[in-house]
Amino acid sequence: MNEEQQCLLLSSASRFWPPKGVKLSYGTAGFRADASLLQSTVYRVGILAALRSLKTRSVIGLMITASHNKVSDNGVKIADPSGGMLSQHWEPFADALANAPSPQHLLLLINEFVEKEGISVDGDWHVEVLLGRDTRPITVSWRSLTLRGQMRPMWSQLGCRQPDTPKTVTLWLKSLLQTLFYNLEGIRGVTSIVGAVATDMGILTTPQLHWMVRARNKGMKASEQDYFEQLSSSFRCLVDLIPAEKCKFDGVNDKVVVDAANGVGGVKLKYLGKLLNGLIIEVRNSSEDGGVLNDGVGADYVQKEKVLPNSFGSKDTGIRCVSLDGDADRLVYFIVPPESSGRIDLVDGDKILSLFALFIREQLSFLNEKEDMKNCHQAHLGVVQTAYANGASTNYLKLLGLEVNFTPTGVKYLHEKATEFDIGIYFEANGHGTVLFSESFIESLEARTNEISLGSKGSEGEKAALRLLAVSKLINQAVGDALSGLLLVEVILQHMGWSINKWNELYHDLPSKQLKVKVADRTAIVTTNAETVVVSPPGLKEAINEETAKYPQGRCFVRPSGTEDVVRVYAEASTPEAADTLANCVAKLVDQFLGFNSS
């Protein structure tokens, strides 16, 4: 590292000291904490992004969001060249970078790392980092508040109503002042590495930024408009390929009502909806509506509490309803039963996975059964879940003859496993997931469809090839994307001629219960087999198995939390009462074996 680079890093780092008494850790969601603690972290992740870009010689993404967390929180994470998450190999360096106690320590750490990784930081290579942010007040930058030198209504850009009381104005100005300084930090971090340029992509959903990074590195057009055009054109293609004999939705069933969690997804979905035909999207709880982000709204709230989000009620009975999370990378559907008293019938990520798997399996069967398709690539389809997937969903998928694989909890593990297949589908129950297509399989589809036009009277095999190719373009293959996922659900339901109620009847979830047990040291729990089997402490596995065997359709596992000294317990059984009892009994076993009486 030359003297110019060292001076630049020391000078910029001296402005951003880490918070005292706080240890930050990079996880699946990047760094997340109360926004007031993340100023230095955003700056340092900017450095991380620039170094990652130099190492890979690719465009990297930096997203500022706390997703489904409360509005006072924030977060920052990296999108790798594939559009996926930061390589796990770099996570320890990310932790060390965020927690370096001084500029001198930071410089020493960077020096050691770039030497180890063989990264040149002397300005002989120019790289780019794309920056995105959601609509929470502390992620909207000064640049986004101005247009051609004129101030736009700032409160609308901050996702809230015009302040109308002195107290509201004071709080709003405080948020704005924090905004003006907070979001320059990522740019300063990137540009503190010689040769690195930060490109502000503006206000985006998290999946949009990941999509842009992937597209740029594949040599494709990568603006936000390109994203919208690819999704809308792929959706139209799939609609045009719906079999004539299938029943199209009519009347009220043409409409889907979306809870946007008072986050960034609402505005984006409203724009996307204008580009679609045959689907009416009504957006509620948009960031423009003045509600509080993720407060009584959103996919996380709906999935965990199984209750109606704000702005929904009996008027929505019989309509397909959807909840997104704050940065629009998760979605769950729900049904408002007659006289629900606030309760809902949840159609979660497991059901979304099952719907996608059923449709893709059908298209592959058309490809494989037609004589003229025999020479085509035979696709290997795989489904990936974690142990938290409801047992009924796993049984259903296996009954379909699908290969079901399990990974440890965390999207990074699911995504990595899904890449092993020609078509890999993964979803968590919380609504985060996607479908991945191998390059070789896409090439085989493109070769087959080059001579096919939508106006031709092709065989079912040819139409299936067109459908699968359209799905590969509609779904976001970089990361879970609530907008693209919603469109794929809607077009598959139209293809099947199904109502949301028929979809929900694919299988019935087994009752489940989740608990947390406080322990002295969570590392005392060691698991294997995708976290479903306890290895340590000795004897706990046998005790859990003995207890679980007492309950019809019983299933139970325990795993340590990744962030706190807590052991998580998950239990399933044939009745809610049995699931509750099993979970409580196993929680007591954990408490007994770890010798920390927290009952």
Contact between 156 and 288 under an 8 Å Cβ cutoff? The reply is yes
> How far apart, in whole angstroms, are the C-alpha atoms of residue 534 and residue 555?
14
> How far apart, in whole angstroms, are the C-alpha atoms of residue 250 and residue 279?
10
Binding site for Mg(2+), by residue number, is 67, 325, 327, 329
Q: Is 440 a catalytic residue?
A: no
> How far apart, in whole angstroms, are the C-alpha atoms of residue 514 and residue 476?
30
> Which helix H or strand E contains 64, and what residues bound it?
strand 60-64
Point out the catalytic residue in the list 12, 40, 53, 67: 67
> How far apart, in whole angstroms, are the C-alpha atoms of residue 127 and residue 194?
9
Comparing CA positions, the residue from 68, 82, 432, 86 lying closest to residue 264 is 68
> How far apart, in whole angstroms, are the C-alpha atoms of residue 298 and residue 432?
13
Residues 6 or more apart in contact with residue 97 via CB below 8 angstroms = 44, 45, 47, 48, 106, 109, 110
Binding site, by residue number, is 67, 325, 327, 329, 428-430, 559-563, 568
Residues 6 or more apart in contact with residue 19 via CB below 8 angstroms = 37, 40
Comparing CA positions, the residue from 217, 189, 198 lying closest to residue 48 is 189
The 3-state secondary structure of 385-438 reads ECCCCCHHHHHHHHHCCCEEEECCCCHHHHHHHHCCCCEEEEECCCCCEEEEEC
Place of tokens 């609530």: 482
> How far apart, in whole angstroms, are the C-alpha atoms of residue 228 and residue 567?
42
* Strands 512-518, 566-572: pairing kind: antiparallel
Binding site for substrate, by residue number, is 428-430, 559-563, 568
Instruction: Read off the amino acid at residue 251.
Output: G
> How far apart, in whole angstroms, are the C-alpha atoms of residue 539 and residue 163?
60
Comparing CA positions, the residue from 121, 124, 127 lying closest to residue 6 is 121
Per-position DSSP letters for 556-582, written without gaps between them = EEEEE-SSSSEEEEEEE-SSHHHHHHH
> How far apart, in whole angstroms, are the C-alpha atoms of residue 373 and residue 319?
40
Active site residues: 67
